[in-house]
Structure 1
Amino acid sequence: MDVIRSLAIFVLAGLCEIGGGYLMWLWLKEGKPLWYGLIGAVILAAYGVVATWQTANFGRVYATYGGVFIVLALLWAWKIDGFKPDKWDVIGASIALIGASIIIYMPRNA
């Protein structure tokens, strides 16, 4: 259950960062109203809090989150922004996710 909880926290953190960043992007680059930016800022702040719910140390959590973020960013771009990842996107994201999983979930002797 610890791995499932940890994965859920990574996904929630990613949705906060990508969703908040996307709202900021829409406000600043697409001319959406100010409230997009304000809500985006609040969601981005929530990302900073959600990430602290992980039990591993800061370095491992953020290194792992990088791999999870890559996958989530491609999924967001595909489902929300209409970008279709190609095979190289999928291969690269898979490699990043495998590396991230090794960093966070492999047993340690210390």
Structure 2
Amino acid sequence: MLYHDLTGDASLANDQIGKEIEERLCLMISLEDPSIIVDLRTNNGFKGLKFDIFWDELDGYFNEHNNTVVNERRTNTILYIPYAISIRELRNKIITRLNTKYQGPPLPYDVAVPSEE
């Protein structure tokens, strides 16, 4: 909806659900109700130290795999590197590593883990 609004793209949704979503989003934007619309810019530039232990472990995980060769399952410009299949799987691998490192579960209270989002 924002893309359509900002670019002037006049293409329409081609199914009933898409049309209903567009109508609801248009209403939300026109009402400018702060309880409905969330300013996602608040997530940009997080400067806290809360997740540093998690990010350091993630960095260590990728550095251990820095000599991995790209799998032959590649097409065009998309490459497949078998570190993790999904964000959930990668997150779970790092949590497992942290549990091993800190002899958990549970993890110590000062080890924060970001959500999958």
TM-score, normalising length: structure 1: 0.24
Q: Which structure has greater helix proportion?
A: 1
Q: Which has the higher contact order (CA 8 A, sep 6+)?
A: 1
